[in-house]
Amino acid sequence: MPYERAREIEQRFQKAIYTQRESVEFKKSWLWSSEHRVSLLSALLPSSESGGTRFAQYEMNLIGGMSSLVDHKRSGENPTTSPRNSGVCFMQNKSRVEWCMREKDEKPAVAYRTGLGQMFLGDAKDTLLSPALNEYKGHVQLIFTSPPFPLNRKKRYGNFQGQEYIEWLISFIPVFKGLLAPDGSIVIELGNSWEPGHPIMSPLNLRALLAFLDKGNLRLCQQFVCYNPARLPSPAQWVNVERIRLKDSFTHVWWMSPGDRPKADNRRVLKPYSQSMKQLLSSQKYNSGKRPSEHTIGRTSFLTNNNGAIPPNVITLANTCASDTYQDYCRTQNLPIHPSRMQTGLAEFFIKFLTEQNDLVLDPFAGSNTTGSMSEQLGRRWISVEVQEKYVKGSFGRFLSPDTPVPTDEA
């Protein structure tokens, strides 16, 4: 069966399952019986192709929200293998995602792509300096990333230590500035670090930030704190064992830009009004006048309904999800789950705040590609880079679930 025919049959199959998504049986489980899958696909194939075909079997994989047509052809060209086998894979959601890498490909290389973005496998600096990204120079609206934290101990996902970390981080400045749009932003999440063997914090993350700002001649637009109330107590020795410190439960998020006024609009990230504010808007009454803080509140200052409250620069996000499409996909495919995944809400907040639809978002240290996935859902173009192939393969699962809720730009 030719390549084009395989695509046509998969598209017809996808259309068929989408018509059944609202059925009770479908809502109970994505994992249909083999008989159901085979009979549905057989009904889509003309009789001339259902018998005597070169294909031994068609298998639909619907585990964890995935839907794909997997070709088990015994001989000849095989256009539809899984990313675990490093071939081309057709998997379709609301937008199509295609696995592109083969084992023989040199790095950097596009591992997979969608209609809006592409994931590169390779070293971040090598990839960003490669000819493949020349067309994006000066067009990236947001570089949003969580690089390996400046920890004073090694992590399995890779990180530098001490002064080496600072030198490594600032080496990306000319690369980032070459890609960034004139009104673009750089947002970097940095965790805290502690001195090994001592109950004192290291200023390494702050030194890294100051060096990055200084060497890049960047403006610090605003500091944010990402607070995780469900974070496990750490460092364990000082918090749990000796009880002489409190648990470390937040990360710093630094918003920087080459200029004073990068593109931004807090109306895209408004929070719902509190009940008391809703009552104030309804009654159109409140206590105006001078406050003890010496601020003067006007008689009509708070009577306009702006469709939400301006959020603070403290972002509260619990990272407690033990099972989602990404994790289910990794378990199904026997791939490692990234140990330091970014909260989807953090990526959503800054992508909404600092970009508009069709703007370009870059994550040079993508990990499990939370940034690319959220950019896709919000209608932004995206480029992600990850150096470890095992995490690239796992991140493919973020793009496969038809049931993934799609956020909007509405607050």
The pLDDT tens digits for 81-105 are 344 443 333 333 345 677 777 666 6
Q: Is the pLDDT of residue 339 over 90?
A: no
Give the residue-averaged pLDDT of 225-254: 93
Domain ranges, ordered by start, for the chain:
3-80, 116-275+310-399
Rounded CA gap, 16 and 43, in Å? Answer: 10
Min mean pLDDT across 39-48, 55-64, 205-214, 347-356 is at 55-64
Rounded CA gap, 253 and 256, in Å? Answer: 10
| Residue pair 368/395 in contact by the 8 Å Cβ criterion | yes
Q: Is the pLDDT of residue 124 over 50?
A: yes
pLDDT at 371 (0 to 100): 97
| Residue pair 406/94 in contact by the 8 Å Cβ criterion | yes
pLDDT band of residue 110 (cuts 50, 70, 90) is very high
Listed residue (324, 403, 328, 322) closest to 26, CA to CA: 403
pLDDT at 116 (0 to 100): 94
Is 109 or 12 the better-scoring residue by pLDDT? 109
pLDDT band of residue 402 (cuts 50, 70, 90) is low
Q: Is the pLDDT of residue 32 over 50?
A: no
Q: Is the pTM value of this prediction over 0.75?
A: no
Q: Is the pLDDT of residue 36 over 70?
A: no
Rounded CA gap, 102 and 6, in Å? Answer: 19
Give the residue-averaged pLDDT of 66-90: 35
pLDDT band of residue 47 (cuts 50, 70, 90) is very low
Rounded CA gap, 241 and 270, in Å? Answer: 41
Q: How is domain 116-275+310-399 classified at the CATH fold level?
A: Rossmann fold (3.40.50)
Q: Is the pLDDT of residue 79 over 50?
A: no
Listed residue (43, 39, 57, 38) closest to 12, CA to CA: 43
What average pLDDT is seen over the chain?
A: 77
Q: How many residues does the chain have?
A: 411
Give the residue-averaged pLDDT of 41-56: 40
